[in-house]
Amino acid sequence: MRRGQAVPAEHPVTPDGRYFVVRGRLWRRANPALDEATRARLTRELMAARRAKQQAMRQGDEAARGAARQRVDAAKHALGERGPVWWNDGAPDLNRRMARNTPYAEWFSGLGLSD
């Protein structure tokens, strides 16, 4: 696992480090080329935006919820979790796809996890 790319042990990371797996689904990881300070700042912003969205939902404030969702999206784009892929070998983005239906299927089946 690369520096700054902590993923809970129960979430396996694909051999190329591009995705982690939750309940059989691939989720794109943050760009490993981000320096530690930038990654930490963006992660803090992401968490703050998620908290703001939750608070807006509790209060029934649709305008604040929309603004918070935009903040979440911006942080995820900046981290490389959304938007253009951060790798440059031409491989497609498989974010949110079931691992068993991707080129990672053999690797995933070898983990012995149920999806």
pLDDT at position 96, please?
96
Neighbours of 20 (CB within 10 A): 19
Contact assessment for residue 4 and residue 36, using Cβ atoms and an 8 Å cutoff: yes
C-alpha span between 89 and 84 (Å, rounded): 13
User: How do residues 60-102 score in pLDDT, each as one tens digit?
Assistant: 999 999 999 999 999 999 999 999 999 999 999 999 999 999 9
3-state class (DSSP) for residue 48: helix
User: How do residues 16-47 score in pLDDT, each as one tens digit?
Assistant: 999 999 999 999 999 999 999 999 999 999 99
Contact assessment for residue 41 and residue 57, using Cβ atoms and an 8 Å cutoff: no
Neighbours of 89 (CB within 10 A): 6
C-alpha span between 57 and 61 (Å, rounded): 6
User: How do residues 49-70 score in pLDDT, each as one tens digit?
Assistant: 999 999 999 999 999 999 999 9
The residue among 7 and 31 whose pLDDT is bigger is 31
Domain ranges within the chain, ordered by starting residue: 1-33+92-115, 34-85
Residues 6+ apart with CB under 8 A from 79: 30, 31, 34, 39, 42, 43, 46
pTM over 0.95: no
Lowest model confidence (mean pLDDT) among 6-10, 30-34, 39-43, 103-107: 6-10
